[in-house]
Amino acid sequence: MQKRTLGTAGLEVSAIGLGCMGMSQSYGQAMETPDAVRLIRSAFERGITFFDTAEVYGPFKNEEVVGEALQPIRDQVVIATKFGIDIAGTAGHQGMDSRPQHIRDVVEASLKRLRTDRIDLLYQHRVDPVVPIEEVAGTVKELISQGKVKHFGLSEAGVRTIRRAHAVQPVAALQSEYSLWWREPEEAILPVLEELGIGFVPFSPLGKGFLTGTINADTRFDSSDFRNTVPRFAEEARKANQALVDAIAAIAAEKKVTPAQVALAWLLAQKPWIVPIPGTTKLSRLEENIGSSAVALTAADLANIESAVSAIAVQGERYSPQQQARIDR
């Protein structure tokens, strides 16, 4: 698989990464640890070198799984994890906690769970409204100087926060949602990332599964699946949003690839410093996602995709009101 570079400090990763969250939470029954370890190692064998986790996934369990899976090949991979969620419920910062000492404590615990001596990319999971981003960036800068962290990242941060953080400690990557059904980053985020030399790591690049074409208005999710709380996945919204999937599927059929591969290839074609991290619990889907890196979209293909999807208004908010409150603007 081809490599891409995140940030001006030269963090090199595979063009497609692996989001590991769904192995432990959010999309129904968690995987058994041996199965998750096997899938992560299969991803590496097939060319993926970039693995994304967070202390809150599980909580904690996902980091343990990723650590076990990658320990034998640690020096050949890039591990990204995150701090900033108030898991204990004691900080009282709208569910966030990016106090400097908390960041230090989280890093020490994450290093143990990940079975490593350094974190390649450490993201602030969500912007804490009561802790100045300069303090956050300064704390990560100290951790970088100590060799415990290699690169600093932000997640779902707005333009002003990105600029303020970057002035203290260069930001290697921003991780936020971006896909053919959530294109808001194109308005202000992508231009500032290009200006500052910051990479972009889209999560939910397949629209939480919707863009694969395997979900429709009749789909019923497991009771523990968080999509039950997402307005965009309400039955009426899915019915309305099917038009977007149908448009992508038609283009995929012409290219003799899958809708998921078109959606991921479209992201890769936007900028050379964009690295999507689709997640899965199935080897077949992993191989399908990896295959997207070999899908070449011509200028005509991209124009056709733009023409097909730009006229479709996606229905439903991408988060519940509570989750929306955590997004930095």
Q: What is the pLDDT of residues 245-285, one digit of tens each?
A: 999 999 999 999 999 999 999 999 999 999 999 999 999 99
User: So what's the pLDDT on residue 321?
Assistant: 82
Identify the pLDDT of residue 111. 99
pLDDT at 92 over 80: no
pLDDT in tens, 165-184: 999 999 999 999 999 999 99
Q: Contact 24/57 with Cβ under 8 angstroms?
A: yes
Q: Are 39 and 31 in contact (CB under 8 A)?
A: yes
Secondary structure of residue 17 in the 3-state scheme: coil
The amino acid that residue 228 corresponds to is N
Q: What is the mean pLDDT of the chain?
A: 96
- Of 57, 123, 178, 319, catalytic: 57
What CA–CA distance (Å, rounded) separates 288 from 269? 17
Confidence of residue 320 (pLDDT cuts 50, 70, 90): confident
The pLDDT of residue 93 is above 90: no
Please compute Rg for the chain using Cα positions: 19
Predicted confidence at residue 94, as pLDDT, reads 80
Q: What average pLDDT does range 241-248 have in this prediction?
A: 96
| Structural domain boundaries in the chain | 3-206+270-294
Give the tokens for residue 300.
Answer: 């005509």
Pairing of β 18-19 and β 50-52: parallel
Cα distance between residue 40 and residue 43, in whole Å? 5
Q: Is the pLDDT of residue 145 over 90?
A: yes
* Residue 288's pLDDT band (cuts 50, 70, 90): very high
**What does the pLDDT average to over 47-53?**
98
Q: What is residue 246's predicted lDDT score, i.e. its pLDDT?
A: 97
Res. 329: pLDDT tops 80: no
**Percent with pLDDT over 90 in the chain:** 94
Average pLDDT over residues 195-214: 97
Q: Average of pLDDT values for 34-60?
A: 98
- Per the CATH hierarchy, to which homologous superfamily does domain 3-206+270-294 belong? NADP-dependent oxidoreductase domain (3.20.20.100)
Q: Categorize the per-residue pLDDT at 85 as very low, low, confident or very high, splitting at 50, 70 and 90.
A: very high
Q: What is the side-by-side strand order in the sheet with 199-203?
A: 18-19, 50-52, 78-83, 119-124, 149-155, 171-177, 199-203
What value does the mean pLDDT take over residues 154-161?
A: 98
pLDDT at position 325: 76
**Is 57 known to be catalytic?**
yes
Q: For the whole model, what pTM was predicted?
A: 0.97
Provide the token pair at 54. 């967070």
Say if residue 322's pLDDT is above 90. no
- Considering only CA atoms, which of 318, 324, 325 is closest in space to residue 93? 325
Share of the chain above pLDDT 70, in %: 100
